[in-house]
């Protein structure tokens, strides 16, 4: 197994599932139905049977609309949530069931960057305290000088002047805070970064700065990313591979170039066409009927079928499996499998 | 933001003076006046051994012949007793100074005990959640469903009977602190738990967890400092409440003994003489108590207005 | 005559120790039925512009000087009563977060009927009928049922449609939409944008669209204003601004978009941050971030002048034209 780990994927997610119970207490599960008292638990199926691998050096982007479970996947990988089912392996080692103590060496390797730079830094700690804390925690034997050097090096590498170290987060703008948050993740010298919408709270000109910083860090530190976003233009730029999620299930996995030039799943197509284009006058917008259903007690069948123009009886009954396409992409759609998309579209 | 690097870092004092809190303080005459009055009372009472003309704890300095002299502005007063004397011939000014000191000490210590218990329990309940949370919070609910005074009266009456009044009187201060402290911890626990639940959802806590920090470190280094504002707000009110509780218990004869009077026991002692014309023994300590509690509550109101996250946006 | 004419509008905020200028002498016009985009990053003053147009600023903000002529009347000088008859009635506003705009304890029907009856003499039943017509216009299925529902029972996209229907209730001449689709998902956003475009075109309603998203502006508007640190720095037809921006900031904003760079390459970022209102640098507010800045830029505030198809406030715009920087590399 040992030598396999070096050749296999860095991160390997198998049949990952996450349910959130809506009715927590025993009394909440009791319901009156037709005059009888029955016990029923409602659950949000945030992530259903997601299988995914990430190889070293990749930047895998997970896209989808709100409620599709992309953040839940990120939080499970980062160890903030325990999966209901399924396994997460990192470098050959199963990590989803580790104790906090056993997880500790891996904490240095897997780090996370959060969406909201206004909430991801402790408002009562100076930048220096926030950056020194993880260094000291993971390297208890470092001398003060070593800690200081490490922090200064990281601060310079993200473009934050070490002279500002004594200031508090509220004295910085959103973009600078996000740099500091990235710096904090980099202080422990990670290999793998889970980034949950790291730029969506930032202004356009600042988004470019932060994205550049992340690309730079990828090159110089050999980082691997799992990048969660709803912004497809960022995906096209940043990602090497894309995973499209809808209601907690995978619709399509493909190399970025393949996905953007030749999207296959009807949802992917609609998603791509919905992005407001800068220079294209008439958008070729595929209109989806209805809206995203709630992920509570999902019925069987394809999760997308209520909005899909190609849904038929089979889609109602049977949940599609991901099937490898000739160009290497994985698509979970009966219509693609039966090759009835193009014929239907031309009608 | 671009000139951040050029501006010299302001000193700590300057930062405090520039803060929103100081600004609002300077603009609020009620808060300034309350703090001034509180400081005058507190400083004078803590300097009691230095400035009080007599030592009310020293039986040698008390002469029963001096009892019930009225304050200086009333006919028949002795000039050496500015506020008159009490039924035992003690100088009322000195007794009030010592008594206020005692009241404030008991109030502060009781609140410190409440805060320690309440913050610890609240932090654990909020952070750990689940069964632990339910258990601790039900305990708090049970505690809250008894009034503080009722718990205190029962406890003090039983201890008094158990140890005899001699021992009880010797350790009355500690008993009072303990009983007032234990009876009111749920106030803190509930508030702290609520803020912990709010802070726990924020990304900086997730960030700390991803960095591998343990629960103890996250609770103390990260959550607690961010829960200080509500703790600060309830603390002021709780000090006032504790002083009142102490006064009530002493008034009922379950608190400080007459030989070591707090404001409450002074009021109580004078109560018997109010119809015989010696109103000052009750009224003057009463006024001090009311003013003390009032200014603390006014300060508390101001603190709440400033620190209330709903009203205050940095 | 134009529907809306803003002249030298200056808005200030009286902060605790100083007064900052949030809008600095803004002037623009809007013709009847015209769709105008206001683009800028947070802190540029675009939302404040929207609020000022309805004279909705509240302390510590106030209109310091300038005119806002709406249909020939100055909104700045209007009495509170006259303002109420303009707001909602002839000028409507749509906000980013539909949950905040709708009152959570009233049904959709109650809110719509109330709005109508506040401005028109109508019976409840008449008002209901108008509400149903308007809900149909925004493609809400079974509008009669929706009237009985509370905001929390509806999805985000549905709520935003209802907000639009409420804005259209009194057939306004102008809709001010502040980031109307930012809180929505891409597929829903596309729907709502299409709907707004269609409604504005068919009813000849003027639209002021405030957004940070250049893609949205490009799809929705005919003319665009670009704002930076409380000033308009560039204005013109949306096509020319997107295809041939003149101001270095506008260029930077467009070039910074990931679509403008080959995948995996470094994006062309604008260095630095927008100054806060209290710390606007002297001269052109953009000069510390501008690669073309000269001493003139650092001392004099540039005036708006016609250049090509657009109006630009930049001292160095001529030089930019002769040195067609590096935009041509890719695209």
Which phi and psi (to 5°) does residue A155 adopt?
-60, -45
8 A C-beta contact, residue C248 and residue C319: no
For residue B136, pLDDT over 90 is answered with yes
Residue B222 contacts A, CB cutoff 8 Å: yes
**What domains are there in chain B, each with its CATH number?**
31-50+81-307 (1.10.3720.10)
pLDDT confidence of A97, banded at 50, 70, 90? confident
Residue C271 contacts A, CB cutoff 8 Å: yes
Q: Could C186 and A275 be called an inter-chain contact, meaning their C-beta atoms sit closer than 8 Å?
A: yes
pLDDT at residue C328, as a whole number: 42
Residues 107-166 of chain A whose Cβ lies under 8 A from any Cβ of chain C: none
Q: Could B2 and C279 be called an inter-chain contact, meaning their C-beta atoms sit closer than 8 Å?
A: yes
pLDDT at residue C1, as a whole number: 67
Q: What percent of chain A has pLDDT over 70?
A: 91
For residue C59, pLDDT over 70 is answered with yes
For residue B249, pLDDT over 60 is answered with yes
- The DSSP symbol for A296 reads B
pLDDT confidence of C327, banded at 50, 70, 90? very low
For residue B311, pLDDT over 60 is answered with no
Q: Could A104 and B212 be called an inter-chain contact, meaning their C-beta atoms sit closer than 8 Å?
A: yes
Q: Could A212 and C267 be called an inter-chain contact, meaning their C-beta atoms sit closer than 8 Å?
A: yes
Of C140, C297, B303, C23, the C-alpha closest to A291 is: C140
How many domains does one find in chain A?
1
- Identify the residue with better confidence: A254 or C190: A254
H helix or E strand, kind and range, residue C203: helix C186-203
For residue C183, pLDDT over 80 is answered with no
pLDDT at residue A7, as a whole number: 64
* Ramachandran sector of residue A247 (left: φ over 0; alpha: ψ -120 to 50; beta: rest): left
Asked, for residue A94, whether it belongs to a domain, the answer is yes
pLDDT at residue A25, as a whole number: 67
Name the token pair of B311: 């009203």
With CA atoms as reference, the chain C residue closest to B19 would be C16
pLDDT at residue A345, as a whole number: 46
Cα–Cα dist C193/C292, whole Å = 36
Contacts of C256 (CB under 8 A, 6+ apart): A204, A205, A207, A208, C267, C268, C269, C270
* Strand ranges, E, within C140-253: 174-178, 206-211, 223-228, 231-237
Q: Could C273 and B3 be called an inter-chain contact, meaning their C-beta atoms sit closer than 8 Å?
A: no
DSSP string, C273-285: -PPPGGGPPSSST
pLDDT at residue C56, as a whole number: 85
Determine the structural domain holding residue A69 and report its residue range: 5-337
Residue C308 contacts B, CB cutoff 8 Å: no
For residue B246, pLDDT over 70 is answered with yes
Report chain C residues whose CB lies below 8 A from the CB of A292: 155, 185
Q: Could B2 and C275 be called an inter-chain contact, meaning their C-beta atoms sit closer than 8 Å?
A: yes
pTM (two decimals): 0.82
Q: Could C272 and B23 be called an inter-chain contact, meaning their C-beta atoms sit closer than 8 Å?
A: no
Average pLDDT over residues A224-233: 92
Residue C33 contacts B, CB cutoff 8 Å: no
> What is the three-class DSSP state of A54?
strand
Asked, for residue A344, whether it belongs to a domain, the answer is no
Of C210, C302, C179, C299, the C-alpha closest to C248 is: C302
Residue C298 contacts B, CB cutoff 8 Å: no
- The DSSP symbol for B61 reads G
Average pLDDT over residues A113-120: 89
Of C165, C169, C35, C144, the C-alpha closest to C98 is: C165
Q: Measured over all CA atoms, what is the biggest interatomic distance in chain C, rounded to whole angstroms? A: 67
Q: Which of A204, A214, A270, A293 to mutate to test the interface with C (most CBs of C within 10 A)?
A: A204
Q: Name the residue facing A230 among C186, C259, C271 (closest C-beta).
A: C186
> What is the three-class DSSP state of A149?
helix
pLDDT at residue A6, as a whole number: 52
Report chain B residues whose CB lies below 8 A from the CB of C272: 2
8 A C-beta contact, residue C70 and residue C64: no
For residue C276, pLDDT over 90 is answered with no
pLDDT at residue A40, as a whole number: 73
Cα–Cα dist B83/A212, whole Å = 77
8 A C-beta contact, residue C242 and residue C323: no
Q: Using the Cα atoms of residue A276, residue A277, residue A282 and residue A288 in order, give the sign of their dihedral.
A: negative
H helix or E strand, kind and range, residue A242: strand A241-246
CATH of the domain at A262: 3.40.50.300
pLDDT at residue C325, as a whole number: 47
Asked, for residue A343, whether it belongs to a domain, the answer is no
DSSP string, B62-119: --GGGTTPPPTTSTT--TT-TT-B-TTS-BHHHHHHHHHHHHHHHHHHHHHHHHHHHH
Q: Name the residue facing A205 among C41, C185, C186 (closest C-beta).
A: C41
Task: State the Cα angle at B101 between B304 and B155, rounded to 5°.
Answer: 80
- What B129-138 contacts at long range (C-beta under 8 Å, 24+ apart), as own/partner pairs, is B133/B193, B136/B189, B137/B189, B137/B190, B137/B193
Residue B5 contacts A, CB cutoff 8 Å: yes
Would you call C71 exposed, middle or buried from its count of C-beta atoms within 10 A (0-12, 13-18, 19+)? middle
For residue C207, pLDDT over 90 is answered with yes
Average pLDDT over residues A318-333: 90
Average pLDDT over residues A231-251: 91
With CA atoms as reference, the chain A residue closest to B211 would be A107
Asked, for residue A67, whether it belongs to a domain, the answer is yes
Which phi and psi (to 5°) does residue A249 adopt?
-120, 150
Q: What percent of chain C has pLDDT over 70?
A: 96
Closest approach of B14 to chain C, Cα-based (Å):
15
| Block residue for tokens 């057939």 | C171
pLDDT at residue C233, as a whole number: 94
pLDDT at residue A24, as a whole number: 67
For residue B15, pLDDT over 80 is answered with no
8 A C-beta contact, residue A20 and residue A14: no
Q: Name the residue facing B23 among C16, C273, C288 (closest C-beta).
A: C16
Residue A116 contacts B, CB cutoff 8 Å: yes
Would you call A73 exposed, middle or buried from its count of C-beta atoms within 10 A (0-12, 13-18, 19+)? buried
How many residues belong to chain B? Answer: 314
pLDDT at residue B314, as a whole number: 32
Q: What percent of chain B has pLDDT over 70?
A: 92
pLDDT confidence of A4, banded at 50, 70, 90? very low
Name the token pair of A81: 């949530």
For residue C61, pLDDT over 60 is answered with yes
| Block residue for tokens 């909705």 | C56
Name the token pair of C86: 């303009």
Would you call B29 exposed, middle or buried from its count of C-beta atoms within 10 A (0-12, 13-18, 19+)? exposed
- The DSSP symbol for B65 reads G
Asked, for residue A345, whether it belongs to a domain, the answer is no
Q: Could A238 and C157 be called an inter-chain contact, meaning their C-beta atoms sit closer than 8 Å?
A: no
pLDDT at residue C88, as a whole number: 79
Name the token pair of B58: 């020293």
Question: How many beta carbons lie within 10 A of that of residue A280, not counting itself?
Answer: 11
For residue A88, pLDDT over 90 is answered with yes
Closest approach of A73 to chain B, Cα-based (Å):
14
Report chain C residues whose CB lies below 8 A from the CB of B3: 279
List chains adjacent to chain A, taking adjacency as at least 3 C-beta pairs closer than 8 Å. Answer: B, C
For residue C74, pLDDT over 80 is answered with yes
Cα–Cα dist C269/A230, whole Å = 21
pLDDT confidence of C14, banded at 50, 70, 90? confident
Average pLDDT, chain A: 86
Cα–Cα dist C79/B287, whole Å = 53
8 A C-beta contact, residue C92 and residue C176: yes
8 A C-beta contact, residue B108 and residue B102: no
Asked, for residue A347, whether it belongs to a domain, the answer is no
Report chain B residues whose CB lies below 8 A from the CB of A163: 5
Q: What percent of chain C has pLDDT over 90?
A: 37
Q: Name the residue facing A212 among C42, C185, C266 (closest C-beta).
A: C266
Average pLDDT over residues B29-41: 90
H helix or E strand, kind and range, residue B149: helix B148-170
Model-level ipTM above the cut of 0.85: no
For residue B162, pLDDT over 60 is answered with yes
Name the token pair of C203: 């009813």
**pLDDT tens per residue, range C246-260:** 999 999 999 888 888
End-to-end CA distance of chain B: 16
pLDDT confidence of A305, banded at 50, 70, 90? confident
**pLDDT tens per residue, range B87-121:** 777 888 888 888 899 899 999 999 999 999 999 99
Contacts of C136 (CB under 8 A, 6+ apart): C143
8 A C-beta contact, residue B93 and residue B161: no
Contacts of C275 (CB under 8 A, 6+ apart): B1, B2, C229, C281, C285, C288
Closest approach of C269 to chain A, Cα-based (Å):
5
Residue B130 contacts A, CB cutoff 8 Å: no
Cα–Cα dist B4/B46, whole Å = 45
Q: Could A110 and B5 be called an inter-chain contact, meaning their C-beta atoms sit closer than 8 Å?
A: no
Name the token pair of B78: 């002795």
Q: Which residues on neighbouring strands pair with residue A94, listed in sequence order?
A: A89
Q: Could C261 and A237 be called an inter-chain contact, meaning their C-beta atoms sit closer than 8 Å?
A: yes
> What is the three-class DSSP state of B294?
helix
| Block residue for tokens 């509180």 | B38
pLDDT confidence of A28, banded at 50, 70, 90? low
Q: Could A176 and B1 be called an inter-chain contact, meaning their C-beta atoms sit closer than 8 Å?
A: yes
Cα–Cα dist C191/B239, whole Å = 58
For residue C118, pLDDT over 80 is answered with yes
Q: Could C281 and B2 be called an inter-chain contact, meaning their C-beta atoms sit closer than 8 Å?
A: yes
**pLDDT tens per residue, range C298-321:** 999 998 888 878 899 999 887 766
**pLDDT tens per residue, range A148-193:** 999 999 999 998 888 888 888 888 888 889 999 999 999 999 999 9
- Identify the residue with better confidence: C323 or A217: A217
Report chain B residues whose CB lies below 8 A from the CB of C276: 1
Asked, for residue A342, whether it belongs to a domain, the answer is no
| Block residue for tokens 């924020």 | B202
Q: Name the residue facing C188 among A216, A283, A291 (closest C-beta).
A: A291
* Range in A37-41, B6-10, C30-34, C126-130 with the lowest mean pLDDT: B6-10
Q: At what angle do helices B29-46 and B280-307 cross, to 10 degrees?
A: 130
Q: Could C254 and A278 be called an inter-chain contact, meaning their C-beta atoms sit closer than 8 Å?
A: yes
pLDDT at residue C321, as a whole number: 60
How many residues belong to chain A? Answer: 347
Average pLDDT, chain C: 87
Q: How many beta-carbon pairs under 8 angstroms link A with C? A: 113
Helix ranges, A239-330 (H): 256-261, 266-274, 313-317
* Range in A17-31, B215-229, C27-41, C210-224 with the lowest mean pLDDT: A17-31
Q: What is the CA radius of gyration of chain C?
A: 21
Q: Name the residue facing B226 among A107, A123, A166 (closest C-beta).
A: A123
pLDDT at residue B1, as a whole number: 40
Q: Could A205 and C263 be called an inter-chain contact, meaning their C-beta atoms sit closer than 8 Å?
A: no
Q: Which of A27, A122, A156 to mutate to test the interface with B (most CBs of B within 10 A)?
A: A122
**pLDDT tens per residue, range B250-306:** 888 888 887 888 888 888 888 778 777 778 888 888 999 999 999 999 998 888 887
pLDDT at residue C102, as a whole number: 86
């Amino acid at each position: 197994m040992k030598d396999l780990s070096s050749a296999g994927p860095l991160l390997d997610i198998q049949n990952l599932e996450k349910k959130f119970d809506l009715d927590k207490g025993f009394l909440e599960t009791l319901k009156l139905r037709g005059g009888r008292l029955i016990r029923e638990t409602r659950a949000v199926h945030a992530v259903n049977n997601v299988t995914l691998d990430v190889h070293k050096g990749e930047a895998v982007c997970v896209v989808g609309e709100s409620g599709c479970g992309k953040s839940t996947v990120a939080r499970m990988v980062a160890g903030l949530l325990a999966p209901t089912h399924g396994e997460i392996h990192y470098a050959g080692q199963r990590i989803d069931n580790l104790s906090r103590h056993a997880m500790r060496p891996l904490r240095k390797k897997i780090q996370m960057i959060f969406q909201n730079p206004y909430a991801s830094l402790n408002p009562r700690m100076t930048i220096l305290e926030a950056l020194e804390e993880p260094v000291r925690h993971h390297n208890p034997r470092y001398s003060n000088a070593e800690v200081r050097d490490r922090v200064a090096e990281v601060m310079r590498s993200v473009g934050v002047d070490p002279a500002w170290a004594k200031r508090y987060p509220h004295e910085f703008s959103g973009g600078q805070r996000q740099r500091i948050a990235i710096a904090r993740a980099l202080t422990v010298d990670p290999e793998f970064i889970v980034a949950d919408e790291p730029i969506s709270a930032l202004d356009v000109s600042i988004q470019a700065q932060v994205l550049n910083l992340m690309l730079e860090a990828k090159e110089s530190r050999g980082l691997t990313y799992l990048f969660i976003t709803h912004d497809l233009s960022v995906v096209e730029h940043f990602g090497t591979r894309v995973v499209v999620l809808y209601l907690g299930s995978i619709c399509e996995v493909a190399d970025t170039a393949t996905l953007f030039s030749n999207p296959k799943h009807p949802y992917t197509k609609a998603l791509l066409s919905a992005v407001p284009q800068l220079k294209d006058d008439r958008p070729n917008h595929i209109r989806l009927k209805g809206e995203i259903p709630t992920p509570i007690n999902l019925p069987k069948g394809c999760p997308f079928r209520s909005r899909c123009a190609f849904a038929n009886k089979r889609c109602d009954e049977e949940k599609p499996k991901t099937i490898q396409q000739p160009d290497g992409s994985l698509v979970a759609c009966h219509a693609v499998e039966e090759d009835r998309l193009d014929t239907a579209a031309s009608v | 933001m671009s000139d951040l690097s050029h501006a010299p870092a302001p000193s700590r004092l300057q930062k405090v003076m520039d803060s929103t809190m100081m600004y609002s303080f300077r603009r609020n005459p009620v808060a300034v006046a309350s703090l001034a009055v509180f400081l005058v009372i507190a400083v004078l009472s803590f300097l009691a051994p230095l400035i009080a003309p007599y030592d009310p704890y020293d039986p040698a300095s008390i002469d029963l012949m001096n009892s019930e002299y009225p304050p200086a502005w009333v006919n028949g007063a002795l000039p050496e007793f500015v506020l008159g004397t009490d039924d035992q011939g003690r100088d009322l000014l000195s007794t009030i100074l010592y008594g206020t000191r005692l009241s404030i000490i008991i109030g502060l210590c009781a609140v410190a005990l409440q805060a320690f218990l309440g913050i610890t329990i609240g932090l654990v309940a909020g952070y750990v959640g689940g069964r632990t949370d339910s258990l601790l919070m039900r305990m708090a609910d049970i505690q809250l469903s008894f009034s503080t005074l009722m718990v205190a009266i029962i406890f003090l009456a039983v201890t008094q009977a158990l140890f005899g009044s001699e021992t009880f009187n010797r350790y009355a201060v500690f008993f009072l602190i303990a009983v007032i402290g234990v009876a009111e911890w749920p106030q803190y626990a509930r508030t702290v738990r609520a803020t912990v639940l709010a802070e726990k959802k924020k990304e900086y806590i997730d960030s700390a967890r991803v960095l591998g920090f343990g629960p103890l470190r996250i609770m103390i280094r990260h959550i607690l400092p961010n829960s200080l504002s509500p703790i600060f707000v309830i603390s002021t009110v709780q000090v006032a409440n504790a002083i009142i509780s102490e006064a009530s218990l002493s008034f009922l004869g379950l608190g400080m003994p007459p030989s070591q009077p707090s404001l409450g026991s002074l009021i109580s002692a004078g109560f018997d003489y109010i119809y015989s014309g010696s109103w000052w023994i009750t009224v003057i300590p009463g006024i001090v108590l009311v003013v003390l509690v009032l200014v603390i509550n006014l300060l508390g109101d101001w603190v709440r207005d400033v620190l209330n996250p709903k009203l205050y946006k940095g | 005559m134009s529907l809306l004419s803003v002249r030298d509008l200056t808005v200030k905020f009286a902060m605790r120790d100083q007064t900052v200028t949030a809008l600095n002498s803004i002037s623009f016009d809007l013709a009847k039925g015209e769709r105008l985009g206001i683009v800028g990053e947070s802190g540029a003053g675009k939302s404040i512009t929207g609020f000022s147009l309805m004279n909705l600023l509240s302390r510590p903000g106030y209109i310091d000087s300038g005119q806002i002529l709406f249909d020939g009347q100055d909104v700045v000088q209007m009495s509170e009563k006259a303002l109420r008859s303009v707001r909602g009635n002839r000028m409507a506003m749509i906000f980013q977060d539909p949950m905040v705009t709708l009152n959570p304890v009233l049904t959709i029907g109650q809110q719509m009927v109330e709005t109508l009856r506040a401005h028109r003499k109508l019976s409840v039943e008449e008002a209901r009928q108008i509400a149903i017509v308007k809900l149909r216009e925004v493609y809400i299925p079974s509008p009669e049922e929706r009237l009985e529902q509370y905001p929390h029972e509806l999805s985000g996209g549905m709520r935003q449609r209802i907000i639009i229907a409420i804005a259209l209730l009194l057939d306004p001449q102008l809709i001010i939409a502040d980031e109307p689709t930012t809180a929505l998902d891409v597929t829903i956003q596309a729907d709502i944008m299409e709907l707004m475009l269609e409604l504005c075109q068919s009813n000849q309603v003027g639209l002021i669209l405030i957004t940070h998203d250049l893609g949205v502006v490009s799809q929705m508007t005919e003319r665009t204003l670009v704002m930076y640190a409380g000033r308009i720095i560039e204005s013109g037809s949306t096509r020319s601004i997107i295809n041939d921006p003149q101001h270095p900031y506008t260029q930077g904003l467009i070039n910074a978009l990931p679509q403008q760079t080959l995948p995996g390459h470094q994006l062309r970022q604008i260095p630095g941050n927008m100054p806060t209102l209290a710390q606007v640098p002297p001269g052109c507010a953009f000069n510390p971030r501008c690669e073309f800045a000269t001493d003139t830029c650092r001392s004099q505030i540039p005036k708006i002048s016609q250049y090509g198809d657009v109006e630009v406030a930049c001292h160095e715009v001529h030089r930019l034209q002769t040195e067609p920087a590096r935009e041509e590399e890719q695209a």
